[in-house]
Structure 1
Amino acid sequence: MPEGPELHLATLFVNRVCEGVVFTGPVEKSEVSKCPEVPFCCDAYRIKAQSRGKETRLTLTPIKTDDDDKSKVDKNQSQQPMDVVFRFGMSGFFRFTTVDELPKHAHLRFYTNETPRRALSFVDPRRFGGWQPNGSWQADRGPCIIFEYQSFRENVLSNLSDKAFDRPICEVLLNQKYFNGVGNYLRAEILYRSQIPPFVHARTVLQGLELKDEDKKKVKAEISITESADKIKIETETPDLLSLCHTLPLEVVKLGGKGYDPQTSDYSSIIAWMQCYSVDGMKSIRDRNGRTMWFKGDPGPMAPKGKIRNVGGKRKVQKSDHDYTDSKKAKKKRTGDVTDKKPVKRKEIKNIKEEIKTSRSQRCLKRQKNDEKANDAEETKRPNIRRRGIAGTMGQNKKQVIESKTQKKAATCRKRTTKEMPKRKSSRGRNT
C-alpha cells in the first residue's frame, strides 16, 4: 500500500513529466469507476502536484492569453483553477503514456495539446483509491510527518490524554489523525530501529518525550516541497520514536525514482533498505485491526492471543507477486505422501448407499424381535384364569396372542389412513 513517501515520490514524478507540458480538453473518467466526474474543461492548462501525508493534490491552472481577453468567454470553459485531491488506496499511482498505450485500469485521464497526444492517467487496479474535485486536505488527518514535522510532534505530545493512546503503540502509529503518512511497513521499521516492542502501551512510550527548545532549532517548522528528491536534507537529531517517523520516510524519498517507478516497477532498492518488514528471521502477528505486524523479540504485554509466525525466508521480488504462469498453478506434492488420493467412483457410492439400506432393515428386524420377547415375558407373568364354559387358559397359545395384537395394530392404522365416509342426513329432520 502506498504510504507517505510513495505519495510524495508520485508528486515528484508528476511535476517532472508535466513540466512545460500544456494539457487541453475535458478531464475524462472511465465508465467503470464510481468516483465523481471532474467538471473541468479548458483549451490550455497546466498541472502541478503536491503531497501531504497520504494525500496528493493536483492543481489544474488555466493558461490565459491576450486572445482570451478579447474573445467572448465560453460557458463550458473553466476559467478558475481547480484542485483534485487523490487518495491512492491499495494500488493507486500515476502514469504518463501515449494515448495508444493507455493502461488497462486508467480511471482518470488528462490529455495533452500535442501530436501525438499523450495522457497523464491515474491507475488503480484494485479501485480502493479515489479523487475529489474541488477538494481540500481532509480535516481528520494530522500534520504531515515529512513536511510538517514540528506541528506533527506538537500534535502528538499535546494530545496524549486522548483515548486513541490507550491502545498499543503499533496500532496508534496507523492512526492518521496523529501519524499522517505512516503505514504498515513504516511502523515496522520505526519500532524496530527504536527498539520498542510493538504491543506496548502507547502513552507510556510517548510520555517521556518532550518538545525541547534545542529540538525546535534543529528541525524546521515546515520543509518546502521540492522538485527533486536530491534536494531534501535529512535533519539529524536525537533518534526517538517521533524523530524516526520523520527521518525514515525521508530516507525512502532519498532513494529517488527507484523507490517509486511506475514505468519499471522496480522495488529492489526499497526492499534492500528494509531491516524488519518481511525480512528473514523476523516474526509476524496480526493486530486487532487484522494488519500484520513485523517485529523481533518479545511482542509486548498487549499482544493479542494468536500464533506468532517466524519467517524463514526473505520476501520475493515484486515480479513473483504478479506471476500468472502455469508453473504457479501447479500443485505441490508432499515428500511424505507415498500414495496419491484417488477420487471416489460412482460404484463405490452405490455400495455405500446399499450398506446404509441393509443396516436400516436390520435395525427394524431387531426392534421387532425385541417387541416379541417383551410380549412373551408379559404373557408368562400373567396367571392362568379358568372361565366357566370355556376350556383352556388365556395363555394357551402365545403365537395366537401375538398375531391377534399385530392384526389389531394393522386395523387401527388402516382406520387412520382411510377417509371417513360422510354421514347421511336423516329424513326425520326434513320439512314436509
Structure 2
Amino acid sequence: MPEGPELHLASLFVNRICEGVVFTGPVEKSEVSKCPEVPFCCDAYRIKAQSRGKEIRLTLTPIKNDDDHRKSKVDKNISQQPMDVVFRFGMSGSFRFTGLDELPKHAHLRFYTNETPHQVLSFVDPRRFGGWQPNGNWQADRGPCIMFEYESFRENVHSNLSDKAFDRPICEALLNQKYFNGVGNYLRAEILYRTRIPPFENARTVLQGLELKDEDKKTADTIKIETPDLLSLCHTVPLEVVKLGGKGYDPQTSNYAIIIAWMQCYGVDGMKSIRDRNGRTMWFTGDPGPMVPKDFKSPKGGKRKVQKHDHDYTDSKKAKKKRTGDVANKMPVKQKQIKNIKKETKTSRSERGSKRQKIDEKTIDAEETKRPITRRSGTGQELQAKIKSKRSQVNPKINLPSAGKAPQKKRQSGKAAEAITHDAFPNNGLSVHPCFYNL
C-alpha cells in the first residue's frame, strides 16, 4: 500500500515529467469511477504536485494571455483560476505518464497535453479504493507530515497523550493518521523493529518522556545521531525510503526489488506476525508485549486480506454484531431437513419390506404351479373298498385290515410260511402288487 514516502515520490515524479509541459482541454473522468467530476477546462495550463503525509495535491494553473481572456467571456466553461485537486491513493493508486495509445486500463482521471501526438497524465487505481476531491484542501483530521513537518509532528503527539487513541498498543496507534500522518503497515514494522519496542506495548507508556528539548530542535540528521527515539525514527526511516528514489517505488516499472531488499522486518523470513485488532498484520521479533490480542492467530503465508478502506485509523471502530435472527431462522430449517430425512428412510424401509413380500408371494405361487397335481375321486372309504376288491380278485385269501390299523401277521414256520408268501406276493415278497401304484 502506498504510504508517505511513496506519495512523496509520486509528487516528485509528476513534477519531473510535467516540467515545461503544457496541458489542454477538459479533465476527463472514466465512466466507471464514482469520484466527482473535475470542473476544469482550459486551453493551456500547467500541473505541479505537492505531498503531505498520505495525501498529494495537484495544482492546475492556467497560462493566461489576452486571447484566453477574450475566449473566457465567450465560453464560460474555460477556467481562468487555478484549481487544487487532492488525491488519496488508497491501496493501489499511482500516476502514469503515457501516450494516448498506451493509456492504462484503470486510468480513472486523465490530463491531456497539447502536443502532437497527445500524451496523458493519468491517475491509475485498479482497486478503486483511492479518490480525489476537486477544489480540495488537506484533510483537517490529519496531523502534520512525519517527514516535512517534524517539529509540529512531535509537538502534536506529546500535547495529546491523554487522548484515548494512546490507550491502544503502540503498533495500532502508529496507524492513526491524526498523529502519525504518513505511517503505514510496513513503516510501523520497520520503526518498531529498530527501536526494539514490543509492538503490543501500551502507546502512552512508550511515548511518555520523549518530549523534544530545545537543544534537540536541530536538523533531522543530528536528531538521528544524538536522540534516536521512536518519534525521530518515524521521521528518518521514511526519508530512507525517499532516498532510494524511483528505483524503490517506480510506478512506471513497478520494480520493488530494491525496497524489499531494504526491509529488515516486514515480510522477512524468520520474523513473527500477528493480526492486530484492526485486522492488519504486524511483523516483529521477540516478545509481542502485554496487550497482544487474546486467542491471536498468525496469518497464513501467501494470503492477505484486502479491506476496502485506506487503513487510516482515527477512532476505534465497533465490531459488527451478528444478527441473532439469522441464526435462529437457520436452526428450524436444519431440524426440518433431519425430520424429512428420517421420514424418507422410514418410507424407504417399508417400501423395501413390501417389495420383498410381493417377491416371496410370487415365488411361492410359481413353485406351487410347478408341482404335479394328483386328483383322486371319491372319499377315503370308497378308495379303501376299491383297493380291497382289487386285492381280493388277485388273492382272495388275503383280507386287508381296516384303515389306521397295522396288519397283524400270524407266525408260521417252515414250508407253509414260504408257500403263503410266495403265493400271495410273487414279486420278491413286496407287500403291494405293482399294479396298484397308479391308483
TM-score normalized by the length of structure 1: 0.69
1:146 is aligned to: 147
CA distance in 1, matches of 2:352, 2:286: 61
CA 1:217–1:263 in 2, change beyond 3 Å: closer, same or farther? Answer: closer
Q: Which amino acid aligns with 1:95?
A: R
Q: Report the secondary structure of 2:295's partner residue.
A: coil
- Aligned partner of 1:186 in structure 2 is 187
Range moving further from structure 2, 302-311 or 193-202: 302-311
Distance 1:51 1:16 in 2: 14
> Matches of 1:51 and 1:138 in 2, distance apart?
12
Which contiguous aligned blocks of 4+ residues in structure 1 show a shift greater than 6 angstroms?
A: 310-313, 352-355, 362-365
1:303 and 2:292 are equivalent in the alignment: yes
TM-score (norm 2): 0.68
Amino acid at match of 1:45: Y
Equivalences for 1:198-237 in 2 at 5 Å?
Answer: 198-219=199-220, 236-237=225-226
- 1:161 is displaced (CA, Å) by 0.6
Q: Does the 8 A contact of 1:283 with 1:308 survive in 2?
A: no
Shift in alpha-carbon separation, 1:235–1:192, aligned structure 2, 3 A: closer
Q: Deviation of residue 118 (structure 1)?
A: 0.3
The one of 291, 301, 312 aligned to 2:280: 291
**Contact 2:192–2:199 (Cα < 8 Å) also in 1:** yes
Aligned to 1:251: 240
When structure 1 is superposed on structure 2, of 70-79 and 159-168 the one drifting more is 70-79
**2:9 counterpart residue number:** 9
Q: CA deviation at 1:112?
A: 0.1
Secondary structure at the residue paired with 1:217? coil
Distance 2:226 2:345 in 1: 79
Aligned ranges for residues 32-431 of structure 1 at < 5 Å?
A: 32-69=32-69, 73=73, 74-219=75-220, 236-309=225-298, 356-357=345-346, 360-361=349-350
CA 1:48–1:308: 2 relative to 1, 3 Å = same
Deviations 1:32-55 (A, max 9, x none): 000000000000000000000000
After TM superposition, give the deviation of residue 69 of structure 1 in Å.
4.6
Distance of aligned partners of 1:77 and 1:310 in 2 relative to their CA distance in 1, 3 Å threshold: closer
Structure 2: distance between partners of 1:125 and 1:234: 39
* AA at the equivalent of 2:270: G
Tell me if structure 2 keeps the 8 A contact 1:22–1:112: yes
Q: Do the aligned residues in 2 keep the contact of 1:46 with 1:60 (CA within 8 Å)?
A: yes
Distance 1:269 1:214, change over 3 A: same
Q: Would you say the 8 A contact 2:271–2:284 is kept in 1?
A: yes
Whether the aligned pair in 1 keeps the contact of 2:249 and 2:259 (CA below 8 Å) is no
Letter matched to residue 129 of structure 2 = F
Contact 1:279–1:311 under 8 Å retained in 2: no
Distance between the aligned counterparts of 2:206 and 2:343, measured in 1? 69
> AA paired with 1:179?
F
Q: Distance in 1 between matches of 2:185 and 2:99?
A: 34
Q: Does the CA contact (< 8 Å) of 1:55 and 1:88 recur in 2?
A: yes
5+ long unaligned stretches in structure 2? 305-340, 355-439
Q: Percent identity?
A: 84
Q: Partners of 1:215 and 1:311 in 2: how far apart? A: 43
Residue 67 of structure 1: CA displacement? 3.2
154 and 364 in structure 1: CA distance in 2 versus 1, 3 angstrom threshold: farther
3-state SS of the aligned residue for 1:309?
coil
Provide, for residues 117-170 of structure 1, a one-character-per-residue CA deviation record: whole Å limited to 9, x for no partner: 000000000000000000000000000001000000000011101111000000
Distance 1:195 1:120, change over 3 A: same
Contact 1:2 1:91 survives alignment (8 Å): yes
Q: Which string of whole-angstrom CA distances, capped at 9 and with x for unpartnered residues, describes residues 366-415 of structure 1?
A: xxxxxxxxxxxxxxxxxxxxxxxxxxxxxxxxxxxxxxxxxxxxxxxxxx
**1:306 offset after TM fit, Å?**
3.1
Q: CA deviation at 1:217?
A: 2.5
Unpaired segments of 5 or more residues in structure 1?
221-232, 316-351, 366-432
The 3 A distance-change label for structure 1 pair 214 and 311 is farther
| Closer, same or farther: CA 71–175 of 1 in aligned 2, 3 Å | closer
Q: For the residues of structure 2 that align with 1:182 and 1:354, how far apart are their CA atoms?
A: 62
CA distance in 1, matches of 2:4, 2:72: 44
Give the drift of 1:75. Answer: 1.0
Letter of the 1:91 counterpart: S
- Summarize the Cα distance change of 1:86–1:268 in structure 2 as closer, same or farther, 3 Å threshold: same
Secondary structure of 2:283's partner? strand
